[in-house]
Every structure is written in C-alpha cells, then in structure tokens.
Amino acid sequence: MPKQTFFNLPEEKRNKIINISLLEFAQHSYRVASLSRIVEKAGIAKGSMYQYFKNKKGLYLYLIDFTTNRKLSYLDQHLDSSIEDFYILYKQMVFLAVKYDLGNIGKSLFTYNALNNRSDKEMREIAIKMKEKKRDFLKKYVITARERGQIRKDVDIDLITFTINQISMNLGTYMGIKFNFNYINLIEKGILKLPISDKKLESMVDELIEIFKHGFEPKNKTKA
C-alpha cells in the first residue's frame, strides 16, 4: 500500500505515476514488470518510488485496489437506482461495464492481466480476492432482487451470485467467439466501440437473462 508521501504528491503527478504503472503491468507480467521502466517514463528518481511504495508488490496491490474500486464506483454511480427489475438493471450493468472497459484502456488491461495471473500461489490468491470483491458488489443487487421476489429462494444466494458473476466476467470471451473479434485486442488498440451493434449486444444479454430466469429446460417440456 502507498505511504503518506504518495498521497502528499500533487494529483497530476500521482495520476501520472498510476497511469504509467498500470500500462507497465498491463504490457508485462508481474515478474517482468520493471520499476526502473516506470520511474524512467514518469521522470522521477527510483529512490523516490521507494518513498511512495515499499516495493513493487506494494505498488501492484495498490493498483489492484485502485482499479477495482474505480470500476465498481463507476457502476454504482451510473446504474439507475429507480430501476426495480433486477434483470433490466443487470442489462444496464453489462452495457456500463463494456463502456467503462473500452474507455479506460490502461485500467482494463491491468485488471484483465491481474485476474488471469496464475504464475504462482500469491498471484492466484490476489486474483481470487479481486473476484470476491466483484462478487460482493453484485451480491447486494441479488439480495435486493430476491427480497422483491425476482429470484428464487430455494437456491443458495452465494451460488446464484457466483454463477452470474462468473458468466459476466467471461462475457467478453463469449462475445469474441460469437461475433469473431477479440475483446482484449480492442482495448489494446484503443478501439472505443464494439464491432457489433448495441442491438446485437442487447439481444445476447436478453438471451442470457432468459437463462438466468428459466434455466436450460425447454419451456414446453411435459412431465413423463
């Protein structure tokens, strides 16, 4: 975590260090990422970096909290609180998440790498904690939906949240397969729009919501 000296820096300088660090970890694995490259691009002495963070791990952990909190705060602030239907709210959540990812390239690539970093036990544990935080964010909406009678009560709430969250985190992969593009490559290239229409994205999310609501069993299935 950062030392107080980091927060004492002017906001512009703090943001510069953050953005350069995000790109370094986005473009390289944790093991390969270099503090030397970061300080060189930021135009600061390497010794100064150790006045702000204990070590590379401290910087990395701060960036994880920073990116996770920024995205979840963005969703919280932009979700329409007047919407009481969980499934309509979920659809809005997906569109907002895509918009955020495409508009925040450094943060999105860093998050993707961190979530998929399985180089050792420590990195896997960090990724698990990130996923738990995202799951906790979703869970509060799932709980509210169940209280409103929109989600069944005979299935464990954590299982429901886990299922929706896992599918949501991998939605970009499915979109790429379905519509023949690479979601992460779009972010890397700075392309700020999906190569599919909003209508197609909405149709895909509607199908997903149908699965959430009714499962995989045919609607017209007759009992034996």
Question: What residues does each domain of the chain span?
Answer: 60-214
Q: What angle do CA 191, 91, 85 make, to 5 degrees?
A: 160
Of 143 and 120, the one with more pLDDT: 143
Are 99 and 129 in contact, with CB atoms under 8 Å apart?
no
Nearest Cα residue to 186 out of 178, 176, 198, 197: 176
Q: Tens of pLDDT along 155-205? A: 999 999 999 999 999 998 899 899 998 888 888 787 878 888 999 999 999
Cα 115 to Cα 124: distance, rounded to the nearest angstrom: 8
> Can you give the pTM of this predicted structure?
0.87
Cα 204 to Cα 208: distance, rounded to the nearest angstrom: 6
pLDDT of residue 115: 87
CATH class of 60-214: mainly alpha
Q: Tens of pLDDT along 89-123? A: 999 999 999 999 988 888 988 998 888 887 778 88
- Cβ atoms within 10 A of the Cβ of 121, count? 8
